[in-house]
Every structure is written in C-alpha cells, then in structure tokens.
C-alpha cells in the first residue's frame, strides 16, 4: 500500500517526536534516580555523623561545663530518631546507657570511654553506608550512560535515514514538475512527468500530464476543439489544492483557480484581463504579492485562521522571452504548526531539566566539601566529571530556552539607558574565574565620557559574556584578551579581541547560523547556538553584530548599539 505525502510526513516527524520524548523521559528517570541516591546519603548518614561529632565535642567540656549535658542529650535524641543502618540501634542504645550512668557520676572516666567507643561504631557504620550508597549512585550513572548511548546510536541511524530520504521525497517531484512547467512554457507539449507516487505529487503529476496532453491536442485541433479543451484544463486547475494565478507579459490577469479566488476574495469573471496594479489598489493580498517579490512566505487569513503560504513565481518563457507569469500559493500551515509544536516541546523539556540538573550540581558541591567526608582521588575525579557535565547541561538548556524565545519571536526586551562600563563589568565578573584558570589577562580599553547606550542590560551582557567565554576557550594559556568600547556619533561599539588560532575566512559567513561549529573544533560543551542567539538579541535591539578573524592571529567579535 502506497502512502500519501501527508502520512509520510506524519510518520517521519512523529518518529522524531517519539525519539525526543523517549530520550527526555529516560534522561529524567536516571537523573531522578541519581538525585535520590545522593539525597539519601546527605539526609541520613551525614546527619548522624554531625550528631555524633557534637556529642564528642560536648564530652570534652565535662565535667566543668554542665551545659554540655544538654548538648549531649539533644544530639542523642536526634540520633535515636535517625537510625538507618543495621547495628546502629544497638550502638545508639549503648551510648544512651553509658550516658545515663555518666549523668549520675560525671567523674567516672570509664563511661567517657564507653560513649566514645559506641559513637565510633555508629560513625563506622554510617561511613560504610556512604561508600555503599555512593557505589549505587555510580552504577545508576553507568546504566544511564549505557542505555542513553545505545538508544541514541540506534535512533540516530534511523533518524539519519529519515532526514536523508524525506527531503528527496518532496524535492524530486517538485524538480520534475518545475521542469515540466518550463517545457510547457516553451510549447513542448509532448513533455510528460512520471512519478511512481500514490500521493499528492502523484495527483499533481497526473494532472500535469493531462494538461500537457490537452495542450498537445490543442496545438493540432481546430478552434472549436481548443475552446472545449480549454474548459477542461480550467477544470483541472480549479481542482488543484494550491492557489494559482496566471498573468500575461503585461501583468494582466489570465486566470485564477478556485483556491486563488477564495484567498483573494475576488471572482475570476470580474477581474479577467484587468491590470494587476489596478486590482492591487483595492486588494491587500494582490498588493502584497506584487510588492514583495523576494518574500517567499506569506501570512494570509484563510479557513478562519492565520495561515502560511509559500509563494512561487514562475516565469513563462517562449524563445527565451518572458511571455507571462504563474504565481503558485502553497498552503504550508501544517508544517508551521508542527514546527511550533517542536519549539514548545524543546522549551518545556529544557525548562523541566534545569531543576534536576541544578539539584545534581548542588549535591556535587556538597560531596566536594571536605567537611562532609574525605574523598579518594578516583571519587574526586568522578565528582569533577559530574560537576562539569552539570554545568554543560545547564548551559545547553539555557541556550535552548533562549533559542525558543528567538524562534517564537517572543524576545522580551527591557530597553533602558545604561552605562557601557556597567555592561562590561558584569560580563567580566562572569568570566574572570575561567580566565584565571588559564592565566589569561583581560585588558579593558573603554573610551572616556561615553554616552549611555539604549539596551537591555541583561541580554547585552549575555552576548558580551558569550564573546568573552569563546575568547577564553580558544586563547592559549598566559595570553591576553582585549575588550574595548568606543563611540562614533550616536553609535557605541563593543568589541572582544583574542590572540588565538583564528577562523578561516570561508567559515565567517556561517558563524551566526544555528548549530554551526567550525570544523576541527571539538567542543563538547557547546551547542552551536550561542552566536546565533547573540545575533538575534543584538538585532532585536536595533544593533549590528560582526566578526573579523585572521588565521593564526586571532578573532574580533563586536556589536554596535545606538546611544540613549
């Protein structure tokens, strides 16, 4: 059974949606498990160690300080309510027993020894539990990495196959139809299109072949037959699902199909033979079609909602001479709706991921605290890896959230006059630690008596931080980075220059495209969205973003905003 084009697209996009959904669910599941394992360590075992240390410290104050008894009593009660490990209750009961004896005779040193000995047993049990639970968390992380890698690999192969094949399913018929229309415009009516597709393109190819056949017959028939066949061709065009408008070489209306009539709100019989510019005076859509020839996508109110149409303008030529035009309006609203659903899904998943990732980061910081426990070198390396991956995930989710703002056109700007030095200082504070790790000095060169700039301070600082982060990342150790702010008339420019390896000139035009990464850079922490988001943020404020780079000498990223 052959599938319609719409069904093929639903299957392909539906599969990609399921892949994203499954990957997100598994990621959240394993993140929750790891978070639960680390939380149990902190909540149960660490608190016991704190209570016991408080008891030991209070023992040192006896018998001179009577308040120490209250401290011991308070922490012992908390310990009795926090028994989580096998054998811990017996040791706790021993502490209670010895403490009760101690209260009757504070000078009896034997009770001191017995309390310390029992507390040591409790500490040993909880320290062993911490090691055991940490091992469980490591196994959970390993399982997550294994299964997510397997699923990613399998689905990536399937997705690659879909991405490779689906565009060809659409492009090949369009190319064949375009060639067919060109042939017909050259009066080669023997041209036929053969598409082995039982879908909308197949229907369109069949309709084209019928049209071509009829034109061929017109070419060899008498006038009466031509008129008869003309009616049939008009019927075929009217059955097409795309809006079609035919113009002659003088821009007069030749024909409209039913879809085009509905979109324009005009009847073909009323405007046939009329000059399109005259019609455009009273019809907004016709004026839009004539004025915006370079604009391929139009927003039109159709079917009781805002719809999107792709506009194709095809020149009809004869002996290399343009004798008319055909305007085709193709309804692409379903694709826009699918793209909007994708954007909303990414925004939702990114937002939901930020909370558990922040929890993981906080847990890792607690584990790294020497006051909690001393870690082995292997554990420290694992903890470092967890922290780096958490930071990377937070950065990625942040960039995805920013990109969903850009894609939906909902960039929230808070434009206000702000001193350029304040924006620079905020950005410097954010990257200072990274620069110090590589022993990189950041040199400021801010022009005196600058005007305030009309900008959103937060988003402008974000762009400058992105420039500085990239400069630190690709600069050699013990080098320098220059940040400068200058004013020319009412334009204020911010620039960040590094002395790294630079970028080849052929890649410069693509740097601000989404997901683009310069070949040869293996940056796992990047998404390829940072510069694209920066461009959108700056242009949304009425500014201009720019890059200059010389290979093996360094790069300069800059943007210009208007003074307040």
Q: Are 104 and 66 in contact (CB under 8 A)?
A: no
Query: What is the DSSP code (8-state) at residue 555?
Result: E
Name the residue with higher pLDDT: 11 or 265.
265
What is the SS3 assignment for 267? coil
Query: What is the DSSP code (8-state) at residue 80?
Result: H
Give the number of residues written for the chain.
Answer: 564
Name the residue with higher pLDDT: 522 or 388.
388
What domains can you pick out in the chain, each with its CATH number?
A: 5-163 (no CATH), 240-331 (3.30.450.20), 337-408 (1.10.287), 416-562 (3.30.565.10)
Report residue 558's pLDDT band, with 50, 70 and 90 as the boundaries. very high
pLDDT at position 202 over 50: yes
What is the C-alpha separation between 202 and 481, in angstroms, rounded? 60
What is the C-alpha separation between 411 and 217, in angstroms, rounded? 58
For residue 230, what pLDDT is reported?
Answer: 66
Consecutive H or E run containing 389: helix 377-408
Across all residues in the chain, what is the average pLDDT? 76
Q: Which two tokens stand for residue 127?
A: 């320290």
pLDDT at position 369 over 80: no
pLDDT at position 290 over 70: yes
For residue 392, what pLDDT is reported?
Answer: 62
What percent helix, strand, coil does the chain show, rounded to 5? 60, 15, 25
What is the C-alpha separation between 136 and 132, in angstroms, rounded? 7
Q: State the pairing for strand pair 243-248/253-256.
A: antiparallel
Q: Are 219 and 234 in contact (CB under 8 A)?
A: no
pLDDT tens digit sequence for 342-368: 555 555 555 455 567 666 766 666 666
What is the C-alpha separation between 231 and 252, in angstroms, rounded? 20
Q: Where are the beta strands (DSSP E) in 398-448?
A: 416-418, 441-446
What is the SS3 assignment for 241? coil
For residue 325, what pLDDT is reported?
Answer: 82
Consecutive H or E run containing 109: helix 109-185
For 166-208, what is the HEC assignment? HHHHHHHHHHHHHHHHHHHHCCCCCCCCCCCCCCHHHHHHHHH
Consecutive H or E run containing 246: strand 243-248
What is the C-alpha separation between 153 and 147, in angstroms, rounded? 10
Look at the alpha carbons of 7, 9, 12, 15 in this order and tell me if their dihedral is positive or negative: negative
For residue 382, what pLDDT is reported?
Answer: 74
pLDDT at position 453 over 90: yes
What is the C-alpha separation between 325 and 142, in angstroms, rounded? 62
For 506-531, letters b (16+ CB in 10 Å) and e give eeeeebbeeeeebeeeeeeebbebbb
Q: State the pairing for strand pair 243-248/321-331.
A: antiparallel
17-31, 362-376, 484-498: which has the minimum mean pLDDT?
362-376
Q: Where are the beta strands (DSSP E) in 285-430?
A: 297-302, 305-318, 321-331, 416-418
What is the C-alpha separation between 444 and 484, in angstroms, rounded? 6
| Measured torsion, CA atoms of residues 383, 384, 387, 390, in degrees rounded to the nearest 10 | -100
What is the SS3 assignment for 330? strand
What is the SS3 assignment for 502? coil
């Amino acid at each position: 059974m052959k599938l319609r084009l719409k069904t093929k697209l639903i299957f392909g996009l539906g599969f990609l949606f399921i892949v994203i959904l499954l990957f997100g669910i598994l990621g959240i599941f394993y993140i929750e498990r790891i978070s639960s394992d680390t939380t149990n360590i902190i909540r149960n075992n660490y608190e016991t160690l704190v209570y016991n240390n408080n008891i030991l410290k209070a023992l040192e104050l006896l018998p001179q300080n009577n308040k120490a008894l209250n401290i011991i009593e308070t922490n012992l009660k908390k310990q009795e309510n926090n028994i989580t490990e096998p054998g811990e209750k017996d040791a706790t009961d021993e502490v209670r027993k010895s403490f009760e004896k101690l209260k009757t005779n504070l000078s009896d040193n034997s009770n001191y020894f017995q309390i310390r000995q029992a507390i040591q047993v409790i500490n040993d049990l909880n320290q062993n539990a911490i090691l055991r639970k940490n091992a469980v968390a490591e196994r959970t992380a390993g399982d997550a990495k294994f299964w997510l890698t397997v699923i990613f690999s399998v689905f990536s192969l399937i997705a690659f196959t879909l991405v490779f094949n689906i565009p060809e399913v659409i492009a090949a018929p369009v190319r064949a139809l375009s060639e067919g229309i060109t042939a017909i415009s050259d009066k080669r009516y023997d041209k036929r299109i053969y598409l082995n597709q039982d879908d909308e393109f197949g229907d369109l190819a069949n309709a084209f072949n019928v049209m071509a056949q009829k034109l061929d017959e017109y070419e060899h028939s008498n006038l009466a037959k031509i008129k008869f066949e003309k009616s049939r061709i008009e019927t075929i065009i009217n059955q097409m699902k795309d809006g079609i408008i035919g113009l002659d070489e003088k821009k007069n209306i030749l024909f409209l199909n039913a879809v085009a009539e509905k979109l324009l709100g005009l009847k073909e019989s009323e405007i046939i033979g009329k000059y399109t510019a005259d019609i455009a005076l009273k019809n907004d859509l016709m004026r839009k079609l004539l004025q915006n020839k370079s604009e391929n996508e139009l927003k039109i109110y159709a079917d009781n909602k805002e719809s999107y149409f792709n506009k194709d303008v095809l020149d009809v030529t004869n002996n290399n001479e343009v004798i008319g035009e055909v305007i085709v309006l193709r309804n692409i609203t379903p694709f826009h709706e699918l793209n909007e659903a994708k954007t909303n899904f990414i925004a939702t998943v990114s937002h939901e991921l930020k909370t558990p990732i922040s929890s993981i980061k906080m847990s890792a910081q607690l584990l790294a605290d020497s006051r909690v426990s001393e870690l082995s070198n292997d554990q420290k390396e694992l903890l470092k890896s967890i922290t780096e991956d958490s930071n990377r995930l937070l950065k990625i989710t942040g960039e995805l959230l920013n990109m969903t703002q850009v894609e939906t056109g909902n960039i929230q700007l808070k434009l206000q006059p702000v001193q350029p030095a304040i924006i620079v200082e905020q950005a410097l504070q954010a990257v200072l630690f990274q620069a110090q790790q590589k022993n990189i000095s950041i040199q400021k060169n801010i022009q005196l008596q600058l005007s305030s700039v009309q900008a959103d301070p937060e988003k402008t600082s974000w762009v400058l931080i992105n420039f500085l982060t990239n400069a630190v990342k690709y600069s050699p150790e013990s080098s320098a980075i220059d940040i400068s702010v200058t004013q020319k008339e009412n334009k204020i420019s911010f620039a960040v220059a590094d002395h790294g390896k630079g970028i080849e000139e052929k890649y410069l035009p693509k740097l601000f495209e989404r997901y683009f990464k310069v070949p040869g850079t293996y940056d796992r922490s990047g998404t390829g969205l940072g510069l694209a988001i920066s461009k959108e943020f700056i242009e949304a404020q009425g500014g201009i973003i720019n890059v200059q780079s010389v290979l093996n000498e360094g790069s300069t990223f800059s943007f210009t905003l208007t003074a307040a």
